[in-house]
């Protein structure tokens, strides 16, 4: 039997293998509680899983906010995730998932928790070409077991859910927020990667406010392919890739290839020697920031502070 420390070490080492762990849970089904689909969230976002405690309703709360709980002295808002997803739990709201996201803590009420599965990011495909709502960022293919067919799990886009629940909290990006325009070599761009629609919109708004031209991609693999394509073009023109890409800005959680793998690939490839990589992620906490250092990223910026991002980019671009 593995010790707790062994499990912690194994989980931490996943960041070096393009693998991650997905907590699977169910929210409910249609109005009769049937067809309960699987949903998932990255284990790195989960602080703890507890049986549903007593919730205190808060007067004037937004729809789908159940109220708050006192968890060991910390007051945490609880969101009704089945209601947000438009489904009905058959057995009730039995479990509370306490999450850490972008250095904030919140809880989601769910019907049941299934298991934790270990997956490679290439088993996760973007949901943007499916009929999925904005709250689902990707679809994970779960391997068949015990003669059962392959299953699918919908990976939730926590950024979109929290933005929709509290639109007034969306950061306002202005020239005053980001400071003076940042100038880079003419003809070069910032190569950015993020699988969340909401995050991409905020990044684009921020980079535009900073006066930085950019190329936006939706996954680590797309960014890696784009970077190599740009490098090939540059070499054909007798130039360096650094003449065309000033810096890479990447999320961590992305289908096909995560930001850890993208960063590691860039740092170990000779043609990209000296290329700065900034990891821009909602996976906060000292453990995840240590992983960032281990893959030799040049900086880590927690989502989403346009001011912090501008300060970091200005420092790396020596403005």
In whole angstroms, how far apart are CA 215 and each of 173, 207, 248?
19, 10, 10
Q: pLDDT band for 98, please (50, 70, 90 cuts).
A: very high
Q: What is the pLDDT of residue 266?
A: 96
Q: pLDDT band for 173, please (50, 70, 90 cuts).
A: confident
pLDDT digits (tens, 9 = 90+) for 4-48: 334 444 554 555 577 888 999 999 987 665 678 899 998 888 889
Q: How many CA atoms lie within 13 A of 40 on its CB side?
A: 26
Between 166 and 52, residue with greater pLDDT = 52
What is the pLDDT averaged over residues 103-109?
A: 87
Q: Rounded distance, CA 119 to CA 121, Å?
A: 6
Q: What is the pLDDT of residue 33?
A: 53
Q: What pTM does this model have?
A: 0.79
Query: What element of type H or E holds 1?
Result: none
Residue 184 has pLDDT above 60, yes or no: yes
pLDDT above 90 as % of the chain: 51
Q: What is the pLDDT of residue 67?
A: 95
Q: What is the pLDDT of residue 289?
A: 62
Q: What is the pLDDT of residue 127?
A: 81
Between 134 and 144, residue with greater pLDDT = 144
Backbone angles phi, psi at 255, to 5 degrees: -65, 155
Q: What is the pLDDT of residue 205?
A: 93
Q: What is the pLDDT of residue 226?
A: 97
Q: What is the pLDDT of residue 39?
A: 94
Q: What is the pLDDT of residue 108?
A: 95
What is the pLDDT averaged over residues 162-171?
A: 70
Between 291 and 79, residue with greater pLDDT = 79
In whole angstroms, how far apart are CA 64 and each of 76, 109, 162, 175?
15, 10, 11, 34
pLDDT digits (tens, 9 = 90+) for 119-136: 998 898 888 765 555 788
pLDDT digits (tens, 9 = 90+) for 204-240: 999 999 999 999 999 999 999 999 999 999 999 999 9
pLDDT digits (tens, 9 = 90+) for 232-287: 999 999 999 999 999 999 998 888 898 989 999 999 999 999 999 999 987 765 55
- Tell me the angle at which helices 158-165 and 197-210 cross, rounded to the nearest 10 degrees: 80
Pairing of strands 46-51, 95-101: antiparallel
| Average pLDDT of the chain to the nearest whole number | 85
DSSP string, 252-319: S--SSS-HHHHHHHHHH-GGGTT--EEEEES--SHHHHHHHHHTT-SEEEETT-HHHHHHHHHHHTT-
What is the pLDDT averaged over residues 101-117?
A: 88
pLDDT digits (tens, 9 = 90+) for 146-164: 777 888 999 988 777 877 7
Q: Rounded distance, CA 21 to CA 8, Å?
A: 12
216 in Cβ contact with 225 (< 8 Å): no
Q: What is the pLDDT of residue 159?
A: 75
What is the pLDDT averaged over residues 295-302?
A: 87
Q: What is the pLDDT of residue 237?
A: 96
């Amino acid at each position: 039997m593995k010790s707790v420390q062994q499990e912690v070490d194994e989980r931490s080492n996943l960041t070096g293998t393009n693998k991650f762990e997905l907590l699977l849970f169910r929210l409910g089904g249609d109005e009769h509680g049937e067809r309960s689909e699987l949903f998932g969230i990255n284990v790195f976002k989960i602080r703890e899983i507890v049986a549903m405690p007593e919730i205190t309703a808060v007067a004037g709360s937004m729809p789908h906010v159940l109220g708050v709980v006192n968890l060991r002295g910390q007051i945490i808002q609880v969101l009704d995730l089945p209601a947000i997803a438009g489904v009905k739990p058959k057995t009730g709201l039995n479990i509370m998932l306490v999450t850490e996201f972008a250095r904030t803590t919140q809880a989601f009420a769910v019907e049941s928790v299934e298991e934790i599965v270990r997956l490679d990011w290439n088993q996760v495909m973007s949901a943007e070409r499916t009929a999925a709502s904005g709250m689902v960022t990707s679809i994970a293919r779960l391997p068949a077991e015990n003669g059962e067919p392959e299953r699918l799990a919908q990976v939730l886009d926590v950024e979109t859910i929290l933005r929709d629940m509290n639109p007034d909290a969306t950061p306002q990006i202005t020239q005053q927020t980001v400071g003076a325009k940042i100038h880079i070599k003419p003809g070069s761009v910032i190569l950015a990667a993020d699988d969340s629609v909401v995050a991409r919109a905020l990044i684009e708004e921020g980079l535009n406010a900073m006066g930085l031209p950019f190329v936006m991609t939706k996954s680590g693999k797309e960014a890696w392919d784009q970077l190599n394509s740009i490098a090939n073009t540059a070499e054909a023109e007798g130039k360096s890739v650094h003449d065309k890409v000033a810096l890479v800005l990447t999320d961590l959680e992305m289908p096909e290839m995560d930001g850890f793998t993208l960063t590691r690939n860039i740092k170990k490839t000779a043609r990209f020697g000296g290329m700065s990589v900034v990891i821009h992620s909602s996976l906060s906490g000292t453990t995840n920031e240590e992983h960032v250092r281990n893959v030799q990223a040049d900086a880590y910026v927690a989502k989403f502070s346009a001011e912090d991002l501008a300060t970091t980019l200005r420092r790396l671009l020596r403005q």
